[in-house]
Amino acid sequence: MFASTVLATLAALDARPRPADAAGGPLYGVDIANYQHPNGAPINWRLVKASGNAFAFIKATEGPISCGGSYFTNNWFARDWDDAGAVGLYRGAYHFARPMRPVTTTAIDQARYFVRMTGPMQGPRDLPAVLDLEVTCGLSPPELATWVRTWLEEVTRLTGRRPIIYTGPNFWATAMAGNSTFGAYPLWLARWGTSSPNPLPKSWNTWTFWQTGVDSVAGIVGTVDVNQFNGDLKRLAALSDFVRPFPTSPTGHVEYAKASGRDEAVVKGWAADYDTGDPVKLQVSIDGVLQPDATADEWRPDLTDQLWLWGPFHGFTLTFDGLAPGRHHVCVVARNIGPGADTHFGCHFFDMPTGPPIGNLEYLAFEPGGFHLRGWTLDPDTAASLLTVVTVDGIGAVATQADVHRPDVGAFFPDWGPSHGFDILVPTPPPGPHTLCVYIGNVGPGADIVLGCWPVIAPQPNPIGGVIEASVGSASVSLAGWALDPDSSASLDIAITVDGKLVGIFPTDVDIPVIGVFFRGWGSVHGFRVTINNLTPGNHRICAIAKNLGAGTDTTLACAPLSSGAFRPA
């Protein structure tokens, strides 16, 4: 802490042996940092206590170093803290403050960093935290006072006790401008080479600890700061009392419980016990049946602000499978660690999928051979494929299982799998208007459903098409057009007659892309281009006839007179 060569020399000249604790007598103690471990030398805390010391303060943290660098943590702190406690010394931890701007933010950050390193300091002989106040880092007295108060209040909130302020009389008079508003906090005064700590800085009319100088103490290599307590063991023990700032029992809650698949449910939440940073064990039951214990150790960065001291690994996501359709309830109990009792997070109800089938008709169009229907359907109660029936005007036309592989459905309903599609061709009904309905068979709770009914018009079975281009030469005629048969996607034959006599049969083997756009399912190779040569002079009548496939009859696409170089489709 405070360093002064002159004072250290005076203290060394005036070094006195520390008497053993006596009822009602003065109590002595040391305060140490990493400097008391030269070349890694450990401290023999049994000898420290045997030499008449009742307490020890141990530096835990400092920083940011140089008023803007990195935080410093005494790498000997944890060992010295444990060892001092093990031999029965009262122990305290201190933070060497580096007050900075922004005032409030840096004060809270340093307070939290300190307590994160020390823990809440709530053991039976743990003393209040200490703010070691020696530098200003450029803050004005009003800014410094705000910084100090903010740090003290945050540590009070985190540990349940008002911290101790360590300072020197000159520093308080100048850097704090003799502030008189901190008397509620115990004073640890650094005043060396005097027979009394008085006069005290403003704010205090009494002192709690007095750092008198440096001395040699058995068990510690080199010299060490020595201190006196203003009271006896009973008062020192009272100083270690605290009001617990956080609940002793676990805290947290179940955020949701819901179905996550056909027979699977998920329960999500968080749980922490403020007595420890260790994960909390969970007792979980489904519908009153105990499940294997779980652990709340999932990473939850969203809880960082709330659980900054205990870390973010306190979430849980629990999954349960094999659950029957219908309503269920899950109950979660957080197992207590240390003081307190188990915490019941309550019972939460959720519903597993059940009821009638669901699905969708995605495609309905007339294609070669009939009406083509595509879609999907599934029943919440089963992963099996469902019976799918299509009726035409109320009469069953096609019955099949909806078991077509549909990866997109499987991705959206992973517990049901992908085998829930249907791809149905309903044979062409008689020409004219009709109603197509899709029925889905239910499994388990619920009833069969009508996925939907749609009006359709069945075309005549005869070929359709036309002549779209004609040109006449001196003894020839050329025709171009298209034709297709509603019953088939196969290419048709076109018969050409002149004056009622067949002059040739020609295939529709020309690709016309627009035909494929307008007649999906038939493709685009339904065009023809025909040239008839060696026509005799005079008037003729030429006809193009599409030959029928399946039901129906041939269709005359065009029939027109041919005269004087003119061809006009009938």
Q: What is the pLDDT of residues 419-469, one digit of tens each?
A: 999 999 999 899 899 999 999 999 988 899 999 999 999 888 899 999 998
Q: What is the pLDDT of residues 177-232, one digit of tens each?
A: 999 999 999 999 999 999 999 999 999 999 999 999 999 999 999 999 999 999 99
> What length does the chain have?
570
Give the model's pLDDT for residue 219.
97
**Of residues 31, 154, 215, 263, which has the active-site annotation?**
31
Q: Tell me how far CA of residue 273 lies from CA of 247, 253, 282, 317, in angstroms.
A: 8, 12, 12, 18
pTM of the model as a whole: 0.51
Report the pLDDT averaged over residues 467-485: 90
Query: How many whole angstroms separate alpha carbon 272 and alpha carbon 260?
Result: 25
DSSP structure class, residue 214? E
**Quick one: tokens of 352?**
């597993």
Three-class secondary structure of residue 73 per DSSP: strand
Per-residue pLDDT for 564 more than 80?
no
Distance of CA 312 to the CA centre of its chain: 12
Q: What is the pLDDT of residues 348-379, one digit of tens each?
A: 999 998 889 999 999 998 888 889 999 999 99
**Quick one: tokens of 67?**
């008023």
In the chain, the amino acid numbered 291 is Q
Q: What is the pLDDT of residues 152-185, one digit of tens each?
A: 999 988 888 899 999 999 999 999 999 999 999 9
Q: What is the pLDDT of residues 2-52, one digit of tens each?
A: 543 333 333 333 334 454 444 457 899 999 999 999 999 999 999 999 999
**Contact (CB, 8 A) for 129 and 95:** yes
**Of residues 109, 134, 342, 448, which has the active-site annotation?**
134
Give the model's pLDDT for residue 262.
83
Among 188, 355, 372, smallest CA distance to 259 is for 355
**Contact (CB, 8 A) for 370 and 521:** no
**Of residues 62, 126, 132, 381, which has the active-site annotation?**
132
Q: How many C-alpha atoms does 283 have within 13 Å on its Cβ side?
A: 12
Q: Is 424 left (phi over 0), alpha (psi -120 to 50) or beta?
A: beta
Known active-site residue 134: yes
DSSP structure class, residue 33? -
Strands across the sheet with 313-320, in order? 251-259, 265-272, 313-320, 298-299
**Quick one: tokens of 488?**
């088939």
Q: Which domains does the chain have, with CATH numbers?
A: 5-239 (3.20.20.80), 251-352 (2.60.40.10), 358-458 (2.60.40.10), 464-567 (2.60.40.10)
Report the pLDDT averaged over residues 92-117: 95
Distance of CA 357 to the CA centre of its chain: 32
Give the model's pLDDT for residue 242.
64
Query: How many whole angstroms separate alpha carbon 157 and alpha carbon 176?
Result: 24
Query: How many whole angstroms separate alpha carbon 189 and alpha carbon 211?
Result: 6
The residue written with tokens 């939290």 in the block is 112
Q: Tell me how far CA of residue 217 lies from CA of 23, 98, 163, 549, in angstroms.
A: 22, 29, 27, 114
Q: Tell me how far CA of residue 184 lies from CA of 16, 57, 165, 484, in angstroms.
A: 32, 21, 10, 100
Long-range contact pairs involving 517-520 (C-beta distance under 8 Å, separation at least 24): 519/484, 520/365, 520/367
Task: Give the mean pLDDT of the chain.
Answer: 90
Query: How many whole angstroms separate alpha carbon 548 and alpha carbon 465?
Result: 12
Concatenated DSSP letters of 292-318: --EEE-EE-GGGTTTTTTT-SEEEEEE
In a 10 Å sphere around its CB, with 0-12 CB exposed, 13-18 middle and 19+ buried, how is residue 146 labelled? middle
Report the pLDDT averaged over residues 61-73: 93
Report the pLDDT averaged over residues 281-301: 95
Between CA 260 and CA 268, with CA 266 as vertex, the angle to 5 degrees is: 135
Among 180, 191, 85, 83, smallest CA distance to 141 is for 180
Known active-site residue 109: no
Give the model's pLDDT for residue 16.
40
